[in-house]
Amino acid sequence: MRVVICGGGVIGACTAYFLRRLGIDATVVERTEIAAAASGKAGGFLAQDWCAGTPLDALARRSFALHAQLPAEVAGDWGYRAMSAYSGFVAADSDPRRDSPSALGWLSDGVIVAQRIGTPKTTAIVHPGKFTSATMNGALALGAELRLGRVTGIVRDADEIAAKGVEIDGDLIEADAVVIAMGPWSLLAAQWMSLPAVYGQRSPSIVYDTGADVPADALFLEYDENGSAVSIEVFPRADGSTHVTAFSDVAPLPLDPAVVTPDEDAIARLQAISERLSPAFRADRIIARQACFRPVTQDGLPLIGKVPGSEGLYVATGHNVWGILNAPATGEALAQLIAHGAAGDVDLSPFDPARLRPLDPSLLRAR
Ligand SMILES: Cc1cc2nc3c(=O)[nH]c(=O)nc-3n(C[C@H](O)[C@H](O)[C@H](O)COP(=O)(O)OP(=O)(O)OC[C@H]3O[C@@H](n4cnc5c(N)ncnc54)[C@H](O)[C@@H]3O)c2cc1C
Q: Show me where the domains of the chain are located.
A: 2-76+126-196+297-360, 82-120+200-296
Range with lowest mean pLDDT among 8-22, 26-40, 243-257: 243-257
Among 173, 303, 319, residue to substitute to test ligand 1 (most atoms within 8 Å of Cβ): 319
Do 82-120+200-296 and 2-76+126-196+297-360 fall under one CATH topology? no
Confidence of residue 226 (pLDDT cuts 50, 70, 90): confident
Sorted by sequence, the CB contacts under 8 Å of residue 284 that are 6+ apart come out as none
pLDDT tens for 288-322 read 999 999 999 999 999 999 999 999 999 999 999 99
71 pLDDT exceeds 70? yes
Verify whether ligand 1 is closer than 6 Å to residue 316 (CB atom).
no
Please tell me the predicted confidence (pLDDT) of residue 160: 85
Q: Is the CB of 135 under 6 A from ligand 1?
A: no
CA angle 294, 338, 74 (to 5 degrees): 65
Q: Which residues contact 363 (CB under 8 A, 6 or more apart)?
A: none
- Cα of 37 from ligand 1 centre, angstroms: 5
Instruction: Compute the C-alpha angle 1/152/292, nearest 5°.
Output: 100
Mutate to test the pocket of ligand 1, among 179, 180, 195, 294 (most ligand atoms within 8 A of CB): 294
CATH architecture of 2-76+126-196+297-360: 3-Layer(bba) Sandwich (3.50)
What pLDDT is stored for residue 360 in this prediction?
87
Q: CA-based angle 302:303:308, to the nearest 5? A: 165
Q: How confident is the model at residue 365 (pLDDT cuts 50, 70, 90)?
A: low
Residue 338 parent element (H or E):
helix 323-340
Q: Which residues, 6+ apart, have CB-to-CB distance to 197 below 8 Å?
A: 187, 190, 297, 298, 356, 359
Q: Is the pLDDT of residue 367 over 60?
A: no
Range with the lowest mean pLDDT among 18-27, 46-55, 254-263? 254-263
Mean pLDDT of 1-8: 98
Topology of domain 82-120+200-296 in CATH is D-Amino Acid Oxidase; Chain A, domain 2 (3.30.9)
Q: How far apart are the CA of 181 and the centre of ligand 1, in A?
A: 9
Looking at residue 366, what is its pLDDT? 52
Q: Does ligand 1 have an atom closer than 6 angstroms to the CB of 48?
A: no
Q: Is the pLDDT of residue 286 over 60?
A: yes
Q: Please tell me which residue, 251 or 287, carries the higher pLDDT value.
A: 287
**pLDDT attached to residue 155:** 95
Tell me which of 176 and 365 has the higher pLDDT.
176
Any ligand 1 atom below 6 A from CB of 192? no
pLDDT digits (tens, 9 = 90+) for 22-44: 999 999 999 999 999 999 999 99
Q: What is the mean pLDDT of the chain?
A: 96
| Reported confidence tier of residue 170, pLDDT bands at 50, 70, 90 | confident
Please work out whether the CB of residue 207 comes within 6 Å of at least one atom of ligand 1.
no
pTM, two decimals, is: 0.97
User: How remote is the CA of residue 214 from the centroid of ligand 1, in Å?
Assistant: 26
Distance from residue 11's CA to the centre of ligand 1 (Å): 8
Whether the per-residue pLDDT at 364 is higher than 90: the answer is no
> What's the rounded mean pLDDT across residues 54-66?
98
In the reported structure, the alpha carbon of residue 158 is separated from the centroid of ligand 1 by a whole-number distance in angstroms of: 33
Name the residue with the closest Cα to ligand 1, atom 26.
183
Q: What's CA 223's distance to the chain center, in Å? A: 25
The answer to whether residues 70 and 135 touch, using CB atoms and an 8 Å cutoff, is: yes
Asked if pLDDT for residue 101 goes beyond 70, the answer is: yes
**Most informative mutation of 32, 39, 62 for ligand 1 (most atoms within 8 A of CB):** 39
pLDDT in tens, 178-221: 999 999 999 999 999 999 999 999 999 999 999 999 999 999 99
Q: Ligand 1 centroid vs 306 CA: distance in angstroms?
A: 20
pLDDT tens-digit series, residues 325-352: 999 999 999 999 999 999 999 999 999 9
d(CA 331, CA 298): 22
Per-residue pLDDT at 227: 86
- Rounded to an integer, the average pLDDT of 54-83 is 98
